[in-house]
Amino acid sequence: MNLKPVEDRGGTARVSGVLLRQFTLRHWRGQPLRALLLVLLLSLGVAVFLSIRLANRAAVASFTNFASVLSTQADATIGAPAGLLPDSVLETLRQNMAVKGTDISAGMELIPIVEVVCAPPRSGEDGGIGARGSFTLIGVDLVALQNFAADQKMERRWFEEASQADEQNGGGALGRLLGRRNAVYCSGKLAAKEGLRVGSLLVLVVNDQPVSLEIAGIIPGRSDQPESPAGLLVMDLPALQELSGKVGLLDRIECLFPKGARQGASRDALLTRLRAAVGEAGSVRTGESRLAAAELMTRGFRLNLTILSLLALLVGLYLIFQALDAAVVRRRSEIAVLRALGVRGSEVRRAWLWEAALLGVAGGAVGVLGGWALAQGTVRAVSQTVNSLYYANNTEAAGLHPGEAAGAFLLAVGCSVLAGWFPAKRAAATPPAQLWAQGAGPGGAEADSALRTWVGCGLLFGAVGLAFCSPLTFSGGSRFALGGYLSAFFGVIGAGILAGDSLRLVAWLAARFSRHSAPRQLAQSHLRVPTSRHRWAAAGLLCAVSMTGGMSVLVGSFERSVSEWIAHLLQADVYLTSDSNQAATAYNRISSSSWRKITSDPAVSDWDAMLLVPVEFGGGSIRVAGTSLDFYQRRRQFSWLKEPLSAEVFDRKQNEGRCVVSESFAERFRVGRGARIRLPTPKGERALEIEGIYTDYGDDQGIVMVERGHLQEWFGTSAVSSLSLVLKAGEDPEAVRAQMRASHPGLAVFTNVHLRGEVMRIFRQTFAITYALEAIGVAVALAGLGITLASILAERRAELTTLRALGMSRTGIAGVAAWEGAILALGGTAGGLISSLGLGALLIFVINKQTFGWTLQPAIPLRALLLLGVVVPVSGAAVAWVVGRYGAELPSDVTK
Amino acid sequence: MSRKYDLSPVLRDVSLRLFSGERLALTGPSGSGKTTLLNCLGGIDRPDSGSVLIGGEDLTRIDGEELAMLRRRKIGNVFQFFHLLPTLSVRENVEFPLLLLGVAPAQRRERAGSLLERVKMGHRAEALPSRLSGGEMQRCAIARALVHSPRVILADEPTGNLDSVNSANILELLQELSGEMETALVLVTHSEEAARICQREVRMRDGVLEEVRG
Ligand SMILES: Nc1ncnc2c1ncn2[C@@H]1O[C@H](COP(=O)(O)OP(=O)(O)OP(=O)(O)O)[C@@H](O)[C@H]1O
Ligand SMILES: [Mg+2]
């Protein structure tokens, strides 16, 4: 035998590669199901997170301006601080911004716009508010636009197509549009969806009347531009002004700056000139600030969703931690051999990190695809809520945004590598001889429990402290409960760390029920000193259960507060509003002739009318409601947070200059009773004193309520937004409703019962996604419990073999596993339920209060919590039974 | 050097000197601390006090990473319980130390192949360890310990599971290698035959070494 000596030509990187190839991958290949499940669970977390992000993004992106349909974002938008802009502003602007050849404003385009959010009319007894979706009718000056297009060569196709069509059928889209009163352009998407062609009719309710619109053409799509929103319809300006009762008035003017002045100093100079030219009549906003306003408005809502979606990811993270930790334990003796053969600790560590990263890459890739698919579902739920709380939108599909996808992918890999870090360190640090010694024993039980308990308690204390932090405030008054969320995070992690200790307690309690059962005693013997895997599984469950429980406490409190509020608020018998008011930004009105006719109906004994107008206030947007304050007071409909000190505010003759505001207004602008505010109106600013603060769970932007007569005068209108009717004794509300629906096809008519149901439904819908997210979290945690038990049983193969050899049946072994799983799940659930109460309080008193500004009456939904407390341990036991039943198959095969 | 487990001493002030090319037989009753001594010599375990010097380098004073490199380059271990790597085939197990040293594939294959032939395991080269008999595992473990021509071979009962023919074959191989390559060999054994190939024999009793021969 002749063996020459060998030199060391090794490189660490290559050794890690060998470890990865010859060990990690072979282990995974040996247990493909486990690997697959783990990847799927991680990807589920990523998918949920990404889908919410994508849906949020789609909902915000749907908030567009008209100019973006042409080809570009508007550089500036001019709107009235309250009400509408008079036509004359446009004239003033055109004169002031002079068209001299050398002027920087030469070539600036002003696009006057009238906008109406409306909906198709009902067909029979249809679904709830918001079910029909909204359209946005935009009126633009098409003749001016045609000249503009000719000048700028910007978007000729609008008109080129028109002239081609001209030759073919003698009319031409533009010709039809200008020639006929109710002709519109619609988006290609809408045409495809509704089967519309040039010449077909589309019926929509504008204000209180259904109108037929004729499709004159399709808005041309551009390949380099996002498609125009599906709900967009374009009409000639004067026609829409007339149709919507806005003759001589504009909603806004969008400005496109000349090419040379779209950036930098000349842009700023132009903006300054524009502001000077508009003066008091309007406010100038840049394109970004308009979109930013939409973002700001929904920021709280979106952040909430994003954070909740992190839950699933957090539980997934627990699982990765758990799985890698288990793998270290399982392969401990193998690592010892490697170390004994001369593999360095750093090489072992690197191989583990690679393994974690690979898991992350696989989970991230599957998760990104899954998230995209899932987003198609969540986007509907998100857009419905945005629709009913914030602004009209018609979002249908969520695109796969590359930035978001990359972010979610990196998050998966990053989390996974982080999760691999500690097990890797542990694997690499222990000297081989000791690893062997541990490998022989039960393994994984740790000594540093005192430190862990301290860390857990420290985090809980930190959570309590953070709960008292004040929120972050953004410009425009919207706020973010950073302290509250951090507190929740710390609390859940801290409780998770302590979860392992609750296992001992539960095992001790369970021992009282199992004195005479050998398998149960065996199961408990393993939990008396919980291994790190037991701890991870319990912590994952605790995390999911506490979040779900906390959410149900929040929702329960919401339901209670809202239903009490509604019982208080809705005292009238019949309510009417325009059938087009399906979204929060739809301001369709009931004309004075209509509402006078309705209120003089012989069945009506008392009535109130409300006018609702959006107004800019304190850098954000709020709503002003004009109502008969006296009617409110008489019918005891306000639920006061701070009651007015004198009755003058309710007296029409004395209440000019007085108002009451909603709680969210008071919270958002930090004003109290007795404060004075200056409200912009078309007739100039009005000073108002706040006389009282009332609760309104229907609004998180802020409402100022004044006497209707004053508001109508300030805004120069006699129309109203909604009506409440009190019927004479003996009149049947349903009969009155049926009669009014027949005589007013453009009005939505609700009875008291129906409206209550609708309000509750919209609230539940708002929480629908959050519930779904929680459910996913719990499912992931339960699956994690299964994986944990599978790995624990695999470690105990020798013990199971012995049990089988001693004559225990497979079902017997399954029973042992089920008992252990039940105890694990009970420990996690019990801890979770206790923390859910703390989390619920945090959500009600801190996070909700700071985000929406609502005071809620706490309620503990016993039934939901009980359900959680039963379902989770039972499913835990069931999962464990299955794992035990089939996990015990291997050892018995070995005995054969 | 000394080593305690749970306060009960296993090695008490053991002192041992070994020259290159020397073959030492280590005998003693079960539980007397032979494996523990071997582990300390091979840098797999650390003595509580005292030092282990290999070619002037003190194993007790270097960190875990350097210790790993030393095991990789200079030491060949035949473990009492074989400790084959379960995911690797017999051939891959034997090639593994060469892989760590960055030896080229062809050379790896050739060296591992010839050693496997030498221990009469060539026909089982592609089998996984879980499919081997005890004696086959042992022969594979021996091939793995020798394949990278270590300076020191620490063999813990390498012939414990073998029949007399195989046993003689292995002993011949060990003798041959230590003679040719000037490799030091520590051979833990209960058998007279095995001890006979060594120039020197020491006996471990209650954690103390006593010279028997040489
Ligand atoms: N990790 C450990 N923890 C505690 N005690 C140990 C450990 N390893 C070995 N021992 C004890 O140290 C003593 C010596 O063990 P060692 O394995 O060195 O014996 P041995 O001489 O190799 O025996 P055998 O011939 O049976 O292999 C034994 O009593 C054993 O119980
Ligand atoms: Mg031994």
Least confident range of A101-110, A313-322, A399-408, A578-587:
A101-110
- From the alpha carbon of A436, which atom of ligand 1 is closest? 1
How many interface pairs between A and B have CB atoms less than 8 angstroms apart?
Answer: 112
Query: Rounded to whole angstroms, how far apart are CA atoms A690 and A711?
Result: 16
pLDDT at A286: 75
Chain A residues with CB under 8 Å of B79 CB are 337, 340
Give the pLDDT confidence score for residue A207 in this predicted structure. Answer: 86
- Its pTM surpasses 0.90: no
Q: Which residue has the higher pLDDT, A792 or B93?
A: B93
pLDDT of residue A277: 82
What percent of chain A has a predicted confidence (pLDDT) above 70? 78
* Burial grade of A455 (CB within 10 A; 0-12, 13-18, 19 or more): middle
CA distance, residue B17 to nearest chain A CA (Å): 22
Please report the pLDDT score of residue A689 as a whole number: 93
Going by pLDDT thresholds of 50, 70 and 90, the confidence category of residue A163 is very low
With beta carbons less than 8 A apart as the criterion, state whether B10 and B33 touch: yes
Give the pLDDT confidence score for residue A687 in this predicted structure.
92
Q: Do B64 and A2 touch (CB under 8 A)?
A: no
Half-sphere exposure of residue B103: CA atoms within 13 angstroms, side-chain side: 24
pLDDT reported for residue B185? 93
In angstroms, rounded to a whole number, what is the distance separating the alpha carbons of residues A385 and A403? 25
Q: How confident is the model at residue A136 (pLDDT cuts 50, 70, 90)?
A: confident
Question: Distance from A426 to chain B by nearest Cα, in Å?
Answer: 14
- CA B10 from centre of chain: 20
In whole angstroms, give the CA distance from residue A697 to residue A678: 24
Q: Specify the 3-state DSSP secondary structure of A153.
A: coil
Report the pLDDT value the prediction gives residue A892, as an integer from 0 to 100: 38
**Contacts B180 to A, Cβ<8 Å:** 1-3
Residue B30 has pLDDT above 80, yes or no: yes
Maximum Cα–Cα distance for chain A, whole Å? 118
Digit-coded pLDDT (tens) for A37-90:
778 878 888 888 888 778 777 766 665 555 555 556 677 888 888 888 888 888
Give the number of the atom of ligand 1 that is nearest the alpha carbon of residue B29: 25
A333 part of contact set with chain B, CB < 8 Å: yes
Q: What is the pLDDT of residue A47?
A: 84
Q: Whole-angstrom Cα distance, residue A366 to residue A359?
A: 11
CB of B35 within 6 A of ligand 1: the answer is: yes
Structure tokens at A848: 């909700």
Nearest ligand by distance to the CA of B9: 1
Q: A802 CA to chain B: closest CA distance, Å?
A: 19
Judge: B102–A26 Cβ closer than 8 Å, yes or no: no
Q: What is the pLDDT of residue B21?
A: 87
Average pLDDT score over residue span A460-481: 79
Cβ(A369) – ligand 1 distance below 6 Å: no
Report the pLDDT averaged over residues A202-211: 86
Q: For A602-627, what is each residue's pLDDT tens digit?
A: 989 889 899 989 888 887 788 899 99
A379-391 residue pLDDT tens: 777 777 666 666 6
Please list every residue in chain A whose beta carbon sits closer than 8 Å to the beta carbon of residue B83: 333, 336-337, 340
- What's the pLDDT band for A368 if we cut at 50, 70, 90? very high
DSSP-derived letter for residue B28 is -
Going by C-alpha positions, the residue among A551, A165, A148, A474 that lies closest to residue A295 is: A474
**Predicted local confidence at residue A470, as pLDDT:** 82
Give the per-residue pLDDT at A893: 44
Please give the mean pLDDT across all residues of chain A. 78
**Contact by Cβ (8 Å): A583, A598:** no
- Separation of CA B18 and ligand 2 centre (Å): 20
Q: What is the CATH number of domain B3-213?
A: 3.40.50.300
Contact assignment for A342 to B100 by CB distance below 8 Å? yes
Across residues A534-552, what is the average pLDDT? 83
Q: Which pLDDT belongs to residue A11? A: 57
In tens, the pLDDT along A621-654 reads 888 999 988 887 777 667 888 888 888 888 888 8
Strand ranges of the sheet holding B23-27, from the earlier edge strand across to the other edge:
B75-78, B152-156, B184-188, B23-27, B200-205, B208-213
Q: Is the CB of B30 under 6 A from ligand 1?
A: yes
A595 pLDDT exceeds 50?
yes
Highest mean pLDDT among A140-144, A329-333, B163-167: B163-167
Query: A 344-373 residues with CB below 8 A of B?
Result: 344-346
| Chain A residue closest in CA terms to B97 | A341
Contact between chains at B149 and A22 (C-beta distance less than 8 A): no
Does A3 contact chain B (CB < 8 Å)? yes
Of B73, B102, B148, the CB nearest to A14: B102
* Top mean-pLDDT range of A153-162, A761-770, B140-149: B140-149
Which pLDDT tens digit goes with each residue over A334-352?
A: 888 888 888 888 888 888 8
Give the Cα separation of A157 and A66 in Å (integer). 16
More confident residue, A677 or A284: A677
Enumerate the residues of chain A whose CB falls inside 8 A of the CB of residue B181: 3, 5
Highest mean pLDDT of the ranges A8-12, A412-416, A560-564: A412-416
Q: Is the pLDDT of residue B171 over 80?
A: yes
CB contact under 8 A, B64 and A431: yes
3-state DSSP assignment of residue B121: coil
Q: Is A342 in contact with B46 (Cβ distance < 8 A)?
A: no
Q: Report, as an integer, the average pLDDT of A434-459.
A: 63
What are the backbone dihedrals phi and psi of residue B56, each rounded to the nearest 5 degrees, phi first? 85, -10
A10 and B100 within 8 Å at the Cβ level: the answer is: yes
pLDDT, residue A833, reads: 92
Distance B76 CA to ligand 2 centre (A): 16
C-alpha to C-alpha distance for A662 and A641, rounded to whole angstroms: 9
Query: Is the Cβ pair A431, B148 closer than 8 Å?
Result: no
Q: Which of A165-179, A332-346, A405-419 has the lowest mean pLDDT?
A: A165-179
Closest CA to A693 of A642, A638, A629, A646: A642
A804 pLDDT tier (thresholds 50, 70, 90): low
Chain A residues closer than 8 Å to B87 by CB? 22-23, 26-27, 30, 334
Please state, for a pLDDT cut of 90, what percent of chain A lies above it: 7
Taking the CA of residue A805 and the nearest CA in chain B, the distance in Å comes to 20
Q: Closest partner residue to B102 among A8, A333, A342, by Cβ?
A: A8
Highest mean pLDDT among A200-204, A272-276, A442-446, B194-198: B194-198
Position A149 pLDDT exceeds 60: no
CB contact under 8 A, B101 and A9: yes
Domain ranges of chain B: 3-213
Place A444 in a pLDDT band, splitting at 50, 70 and 90.
Answer: very low
Distance B27 CA to ligand 1 centre (A): 14
pLDDT of residue A166: 45
Please tell me which residue, A590 or A161, carries the higher pLDDT value: A590
- In chain A, where are the structural domains located? 1-75+297-376+392-420, 76-293, 502-570+753-896, 574-730
Q: Which of A359-363, A374-378, A651-655 has the lowest mean pLDDT?
A: A374-378
At residue A775's C-alpha, the angle toward residues A773 and A781, to 5°, is 105
Does B32 sit in the ligand 1 pocket, CB within 6 Å? yes
Q: Residue A692: what pLDDT? A: 92
For ligand 1, is residue B33 a contact (CB within 6 Å)? yes
Q: Quick check: A5 and B176 CB within 8 A? A: no
Residue A443 alpha carbon to ligand 1 centre in Å: 19
**First vs last Cα of chain B: how many Å apart?**
22
Q: Is B124 within 8 Å of chain A by CB?
A: no
Q: Using CB atoms and an 8 Å cut-off, which of residues 178-207 of chain B contact chain A?
A: 180-181
Six-digit token pair at A850? Answer: 């700071």
Q: What separation in Å is there between the alpha carbon of B71 and the centre of ligand 1?
A: 22
